[in-house]
């Protein structure tokens, strides 16, 4: 079983970072969130001159047994259709990776289809979809550990290619359902506040989804340990994302967190290793019901609020230019002393 050693970034450099940021040619604090990001990134990288190298987005794709209960308006086959579609370059995530210079990796974590791997999809399939957690655990402990290992392996591949900042996305019809349950059980938020429309359910559909998820949580009588909750309700793509987040934090990489599902994965990762949050930048507050509540419960400050709810890593990638601006600020702005400007605050 894989284990991770994640430590909070050493704060020994913090005063020097704050001093550098405060002495750039601007009023103290006048660049707001950019200053906060520059400090966070400097701490992660343990340098006064941080850099962003070869950003990449990894999409983990898998199917969910709970989708058989009609918890999503989208049919199950959309998972494999979209996974293949990403390889054609015409998906939502594709134009954003092109725009912002991201590499893109598409991973089959557990799609219920024989995918064309010759098109560049990375085969890390654990099983053709999870089991239906309304009736039994979605995955075994062995499968969960395999997902953590394979998610970590994807991060190592990106590191070998020179990446130090990664975003993670997902494709899996029905995956707002396990996300809602993780939110409910880990953040102790009433389930009805955690359940939303997903890809477009109407009010009747949302109410039915809530009833099914309530029954699933009522049926669960396990130990309620974080790992058991993760494995009982999670998706293969979601647990691979957790493994990727933990590996990225262990290796002091910047993690760009996407929407509702990836925020739920970060919440789950924090149950295993709380220090992982220090490496996370939350890209946006999505339009899925419950996402703002979840971010608030985690004490997370998202960079954008654009009404997005696509997933795939799209919101995280949209936020990347703000992160880039923060790094450019600390590296490219001159100090008052160097610019021969009187400090005016």
Query: Which residues does the annotation mark as catalytic?
Result: 312
d(CA 22, CA 187): 36
Question: What is the token pair recorded at 228?
Answer: 């058991």
Count the residues in the chain.
Answer: 345
Helix spans in 132-235 (H): 141-160, 176-187, 203-219, 226-233
d(CA 32, CA 201): 38
Tokens 């998610």 belong to which residue? 151
Across-strand partners of 61?
Answer: 108, 171
3-state helix, strand, coil in the chain (%, to 5): 50, 10, 40
DSSP letter (8 states) at residue 275: G
Tokens 């009982």 belong to which residue? 232
Tokens 């969960």 belong to which residue? 144
d(CA 19, CA 42): 12
Angle formed at CA 161 by CA 158 and CA 165, multiple of 5 degrees: 50
Comparing CA positions, the residue from 259, 326, 253, 241 lying closest to residue 295 is 259
CA end-to-end span of the chain: 54
d(CA 84, CA 290): 29
- For residues 256 and 283, the answer to whether their CB atoms sit within 8 Å is yes
State the virtual CA torsion across 136, 141, 142, 147 in degrees, nearest 10: 90
């Amino acid at each position: 079983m894989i284990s991770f050693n994640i430590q909070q970034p050493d704060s020994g450099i913090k005063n020097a970072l704050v001093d550098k940021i405060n002495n750039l040619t601007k009023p103290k604090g006048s660049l707001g969130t950019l200053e906060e990001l520059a400090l966070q990134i400097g701490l992660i990288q343990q340098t006064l001159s941080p850099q962003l190298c070869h950003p990449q987005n990894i999409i983990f794709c898998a199917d969910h047994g709970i989708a058989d209960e009609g918890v999503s308006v989208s049919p199950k086959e959309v998972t494999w259709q979209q996974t293949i579609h990403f390889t054609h370059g015409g998906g939502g995530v594709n134009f954003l990776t092109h725009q912002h210079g991201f590499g893109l990796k598409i991973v089959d974590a557990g799609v219920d289809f024989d995918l064309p791997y010759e098109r560049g999809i990375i085969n890390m399939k654990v099983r053709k979809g999870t089991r239906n957690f309304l009736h039994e655990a979605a995955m075994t402990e062995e499968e969960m550990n395999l997902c953590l290992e394979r998610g970590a392996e994807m991060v190592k591949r990106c590191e070998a290619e020179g990446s130090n900042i990664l975003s993670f996305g997902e494709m899996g019809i029905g995956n707002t359902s396990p996300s809602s349950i993780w939110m409910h059980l880990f953040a102790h938020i009433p389930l009805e506040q955690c359940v939303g429309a997903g890809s477009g359910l109407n009010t009747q559909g949302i109410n039915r989804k809530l009833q099914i998820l309530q029954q699933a949580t009522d049926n669960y009588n396990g130990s309620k340990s974080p790992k058991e909750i993760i494995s009982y309700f999670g998706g293969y793509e979601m647990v691979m994302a957790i493994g990727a987040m933990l590996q990225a934090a262990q290796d002091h990489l910047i993690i760009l967190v996407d929407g509702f599902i990836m925020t739920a994965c970060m919440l789950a990762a924090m149950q295993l290793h709380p220090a992982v949050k220090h490496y996370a930048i939350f890209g946006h507050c999505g339009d899925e019901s419950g996402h703002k509540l979840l971010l608030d419960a985690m004490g997370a400050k998202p960079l954008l609020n654009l009404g997005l709810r696509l997933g795939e890593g799209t919101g995280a990638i949209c936020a990347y230019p703000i992160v880039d601006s923060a790094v450019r600020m600390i590296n490219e702005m001159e100090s008052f002393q160097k610019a021969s400007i009187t400090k005016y605050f």
